């Protein structure tokens, strides 16, 4: 690809609800722009952007893919992001690198939660937005209902630009409200200009066109005082004023244009390409990026080729054949192949080798990338969120904010000896996806993989097999139960064994009592040398080994204080081993007498959910033995519920919350403390712990 001026680059992220047509739209644009020679289909697994074997198998997008193409002397970088909430990190990464977020909304199913989430993320990251109403050719499509819904949900910034003309339930033409021209399309997406619609073509359409033009003019008038004055005087805007006004309004976030297309028959895709060229801001027109100097001062970074290099690693791809590939947005200056840069986070020098642009999986090597462009570097050590800079000006961009993992499964190798391979392979996958974590539970010793949902974990396990050849079993994680005592007891432990030669003799009296401690508290109050001092460590060691297993279900014992008060010894037969065994005998007897109980872990839950769902969620938490502590409003229409809930009841809560709130809810859950397990659950827990072992 040739070198492009920053004004000639357009960075676009496709985001929206799963199944709203993002990948198909990207495919249609690539085909129409001549970047691909065939129109692939998601159902057939032939699209440019969904090329991963898991994506082809599942017929969904799993990763953000980059498809760069040239059109009318512009370079367009498309970032196709997944719509499933399990892969939210991919959407956040894609939006971070884009300057405009195109939010796809199906003309058939309307505004779904995925569109709202994409819009909210675009607002949060200060990006310009455009709605693309897809699947306009579907027999159940209703563009004007969707337009009304968009205005209701997202407010007065919504501004129609390309609309269909419908007669007898069929689309007969498309009207471009900026050009005030109408077009008909053949089955291959070729446009022919036609007459503007009249009332005869579509019932009441003349009124609709007037109303839609007025809506566009009103939105454009908001962008400057001069245009507002002209609007009030009743003068129509010129085509250039409309284009410049919408362009400016998108950049300021006060206009969100709406266009419609059909990826299946390519209707109006050419108009969308035209709007990309005319309306979408270039990287140097968007707000100036802020970074931090080593002294933590804020520095404004202009998107200018003449500035020193600064670039942001927004996504990592773990490829078992090529190695690590890093997607980089060049924020300023020029990034060259075979050059040295500074990693602002680590302070280390980073050797940049080859650079590529991508169109799906197709790689094209380039010598450099300029401010505003997106490029891919292979085999660098930088991670997602790192900043690469020139030594003359070291700055660091703020990291991305990702959702916390909320669904966990225990991971075990199917084949013996694969444990080490699981760990190294999962580290590669976690580099790719910052919403996955992998760690050992210190209590149960299980390896726990955590993510954003069931499908998220399943896909990670599938990638382990397909990319790294490691097969794993996923199971529900064990609960780290513990045991303790509730009353004070004094017990005897005697170990006496006589055989030929030396016998074994150890005899202790120990008091056991409850205390507040996670480890055994040991004291001795022996008078008159009943037990010699040199045997005290053996008694302590015998007890420390014993507390690893309780008497109810074999769980670790906490909150236990042991005081050695008396005993006896034999000058010949006593030994450290004998006293260790005697202590163990006293422990078992003492715990049985001391009213032993099971303890279960309790966590602090914070649920952020729509106001409409708070009653359902609180009812569900009561069923899960939770205690609701309070509620407080967070953002518009959302409430935070705070509760304490047993860990035992939380495994599938992520699935419940997603279903109930249709994906709008989120939560964090952190370990708080241990509490006594209710007596009615004791038998179940003892049985389940026994089965696990």
**Helix 225-232 with 239-252: angle, nearest 10 deg:** 130
pLDDT in tens, 206-256: 547 778 888 888 888 888 888 898 888 888 888 999 999 999 999 988 999
Supply the pLDDT for residue 202.
Answer: 54
What is the 8-class DSSP label of residue 253? T
Distance CA 308, CA 312 (A): 14
Report domain 483-594's class.
alpha beta
Mean pLDDT for the stretch of residues 29-56: 83
Nearest C-alpha neighbor of 19 from the set 94, 86, 104, 100: 104
Mean pLDDT for the stretch of residues 576-596: 93
DSSP assignments along 315-356, one per residue: EEEEETTTEEEEEEEEEESEEETTEEEEETTT--EEEE--EE
What is the 8-class DSSP label of residue 311? E
Provide the residue count of the chain. 693
Supply the pLDDT for residue 313.
Answer: 96
Nearest C-alpha neighbor of 530 from the set 565, 502, 498: 565
All residues at 6 or more sequence positions from 570 whose CB lies less than 8 Å from its CB, including other chains: 503, 505
**Cβ proximity of 260 and 174 under 8 Å:** yes
**Cβ proximity of 559 and 444 under 8 Å:** no
pLDDT in tens, 282-306: 999 988 899 999 999 999 999 999 9
Put residue 158 in one of left, alpha, beta given phi > 0 → left and psi -120 to 50 → alpha.
Answer: beta
What is the 8-class DSSP label of residue 501? S
End-to-end CA distance of the chain: 61
**Cβ proximity of 14 and 48 under 8 Å:** no
Supply the pLDDT for residue 500.
Answer: 61
Domain at 407-472: CATH architecture? 2-Layer Sandwich (3.30)
The pTM score is 0.88
Put residue 34 in one of left, alpha, beta given phi > 0 → left and psi -120 to 50 → alpha.
Answer: left
3-state secondary structure of 415: coil
Supply the pLDDT for residue 201.
Answer: 58
Supply the pLDDT for residue 630.
Answer: 93
Domain at 6-278: CATH architecture? 3-Layer(aba) Sandwich (3.40)
pLDDT at residue 200 is higher than 70: no
pLDDT at residue 530 is higher than 90: no
Mean pLDDT for the stretch of residues 115-125: 94
Q: Give pairs for 539-545: CB < 8 Å, separation 24+.
A: 539/508, 539/510, 539/564, 539/579, 539/580, 539/582, 539/583, 540/583, 541/580, 541/583, 542/579, 542/580, 542/581, 542/582, 542/583, 542/584, 542/587, 543/510, 543/583, 543/584, 543/587, 544/520, 545/580, 545/584
Supply the pLDDT for residue 80.
Answer: 94
Confidence grade of residue 690 (pLDDT, cut at 50, 70, 90): low
pLDDT at residue 584 is higher than 60: yes
Supply the pLDDT for residue 398.
Answer: 93
pLDDT top residue among 329 and 423: 329
DSSP assignments along 121-145, one per residue: HHHHTT-EEEEEEE-TTSTT--HHH
Distance CA 552, CA 485 (A): 11
Mean pLDDT for the stretch of residues 63-69: 93
3-state secondary structure of 613: helix
Supply the pLDDT for residue 615.
Answer: 94
Distance CA 290, CA 309 (A): 14
Distance CA 521, CA 300 (A): 57
Confidence grade of residue 693 (pLDDT, cut at 50, 70, 90): low
Distance CA 153, CA 147 (A): 10
What are the boundaries of each domain within the chain?
A: 6-278, 289-397, 407-472, 483-594, 598-692
- Out of 3.30.530.20, 3.30.70.240, 3.40.50.1860, 3.90.1640.10, select the CATH number for domain 598-692: 3.30.70.240
pLDDT at residue 570 is higher than 70: yes
Distance CA 399, CA 147 (A): 35
All residues at 6 or more sequence positions from 39 whose CB lies less than 8 Å from its CB, including other chains: 27, 28, 31, 266
Mean pLDDT for the stretch of residues 305-328: 89
Mean pLDDT for the stretch of residues 610-636: 93
Mean pLDDT for the stretch of residues 194-205: 67
For residue 369, what are its two tokens? 């990338």
**Cβ proximity of 331 and 312 under 8 Å:** yes
Supply the pLDDT for residue 691.
Answer: 59
Supply the pLDDT for residue 574.
Answer: 80
Query: Average pLDDT over the chain, rounded to whole?
Result: 90
Q: Of 138-147, 478-487, 615-624, which range is least confident?
A: 138-147
CA diameter of the chain: 118
**Cβ proximity of 650 and 664 under 8 Å:** no
**Cβ proximity of 206 and 195 under 8 Å:** no
State how beta strands 339-343 and 349-352 pair: antiparallel
pLDDT at residue 370 is higher than 90: yes
Supply the pLDDT for residue 100.
Answer: 96
What is the 8-class DSSP label of residue 220? H
Mean pLDDT for the stretch of residues 432-451: 90
Distance CA 16, CA 109 (A): 12
Mean pLDDT for the stretch of residues 667-685: 92
Half-sphere exposure of 427 (CA within 13 A, CB side): 5
CATH superfamily of 289-397: Translation factors (2.40.30.10)
Confidence grade of residue 196 (pLDDT, cut at 50, 70, 90): confident
Supply the pLDDT for residue 276.
Answer: 94
Q: Of 239-253, 303-317, 376-390, 524-538, which range is least confident?
A: 524-538
Confidence grade of residue 199 (pLDDT, cut at 50, 70, 90): low
pLDDT top residue among 417 and 355: 355
Do the first three CATH levels of 407-472 and 598-692 match, i.e. the same topology? yes
Q: Of 138-147, 270-279, 387-396, which range is least confident?
A: 138-147
């Amino acid at each position: 690809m040739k070198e492009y001026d920053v004004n000639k680059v357009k960075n676009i992220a496709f985001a929206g609800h799963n199944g709203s047509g993002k990948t198909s739209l990207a495919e249609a644009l690539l085909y129409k722009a001549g970047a691909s020679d065939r129109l692939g289909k998601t159902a057939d697994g032939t699209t440019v952007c969904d090329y991963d074997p898991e994506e082809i198998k599942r017929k969904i997008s799993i990763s953000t893919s980059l498809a760069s193409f040239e059109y009318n002397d512009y370079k367009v970088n498309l970032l196709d992001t997944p719509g499933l909430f399990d892969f939210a990190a991919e959407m956040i990464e894609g939006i971070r690198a884009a300057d405009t977020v195109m939010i796809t909304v199906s003309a058939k199913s309307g505004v779904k939660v995925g569109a709202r989430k994409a819009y909210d993320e675009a607002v949060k990251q200060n990006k310009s937005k455009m709605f693309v109403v897809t699947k306009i050719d579907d027999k159940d499509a209703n563009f004007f209902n969707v337009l009304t819904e968009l205005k209701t949900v997202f407010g007065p910034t919504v501004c129609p630009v390309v609309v269909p003309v419908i007669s007898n339930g069929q689309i007969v033409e498309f009207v471009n409200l900026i050009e005030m021209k109408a077009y008909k399309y053949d089955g291959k997406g070729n446009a022919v200009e036609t007459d503007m619609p009249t009332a005869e073509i579509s019932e009441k359409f003349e009124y609709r066109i007037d109303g839609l033009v007025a809506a566009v003019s009103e939105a454009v008038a908001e962008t400057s005082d001069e245009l507002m004055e002209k609007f009030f005087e009743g003068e129509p805007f010129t085509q250039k004023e409309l284009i410049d006004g919408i362009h400016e309004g998108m950049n300021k976030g006060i206009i969100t244009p709406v266009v419609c297309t059909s990826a299946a028959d390519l209707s109006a895709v050419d108009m969308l390409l035209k709007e990309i060229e005319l309306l979408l801001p270039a990287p140097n027109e968007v707000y100036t990026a802020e970074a931090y100097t080593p002294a933590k001062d804020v520095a404004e970074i202009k998107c200018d080729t003449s500035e020193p290099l600064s670039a942001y690693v927004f996504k990592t791809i773990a490829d078992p054949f090529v190695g690590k590939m890093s997607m980089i947005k060049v924020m300023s200056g020029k990034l060259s192949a075979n050059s040295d840069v500074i990693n602002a986070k680590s302070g280390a020098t980073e050797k940049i080798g080859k650079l590529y642009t991508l169109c799906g999986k197709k790689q094209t090597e380039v010598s450099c990338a300029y401010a505003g462009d997106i490029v891919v570097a292979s085999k660098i050590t930088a991670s997602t969120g790192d900043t690469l800079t020139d030594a003359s000006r070291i700055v660091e961009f703020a990291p991305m904010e990702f959702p916390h993992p909320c669904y966990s499964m225990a991971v075990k190798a199917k084949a013996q000896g694969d444990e080490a391979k699981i760990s190294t392979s999962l580290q590669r996958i976690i580099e790719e996806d910052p919403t996955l974590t992998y760690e050992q539970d210190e209590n149960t010793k299980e390896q726990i993989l955590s993510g954003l949902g069931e499908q998220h974990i399943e896909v990670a396990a599938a990638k382990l097999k397909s990319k790294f050849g490691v097969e794993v079993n996923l199971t529900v994680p064990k609960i780290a139960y513990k045991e303790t005592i509730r009353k004070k007891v004094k017990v005897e432990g005697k170990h006496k064994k006589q055989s030929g030669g030396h016998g074994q003799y150890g005899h202790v009296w120990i008091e056991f009592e409850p205390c507040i401690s996670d480890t055994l508290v040991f004291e001795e109050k022996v008078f008159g040398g009943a037990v010699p001092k040199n045997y005290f460590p053996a008694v302590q060691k015998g007890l420390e080994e014993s507390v690893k297993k309780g008497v109810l279900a074999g769980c670790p014992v906490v909150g236990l204080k042991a005081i050695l008060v008396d005993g006896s010894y034999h000058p010949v037969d006593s030994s450290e081993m004998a006293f260790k065994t005697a202590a163990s005998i006293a422990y078992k007897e003492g715990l049985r007498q001391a009213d032993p109980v099971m303890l279960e872990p309790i966590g602090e839950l914070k649920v952020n959910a729509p106001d409409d769902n708070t009653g359902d969620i609180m009812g569900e938490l009561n069923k899960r033995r939770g205690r609701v502590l309070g509620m407080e409003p967070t953002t518009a229409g959302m409430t935070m519920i705070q509760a304490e809930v047993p860990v035992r009841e939380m495994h599938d809560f992520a699935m419940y919350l997603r279903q109930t709130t249709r994906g709008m809810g989120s939560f964090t859950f952190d370990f708080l403390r241990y509490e006594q397990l209710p007596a009615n659950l004791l038998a179940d827990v003892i049985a389940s712990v026994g089965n696990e072992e």
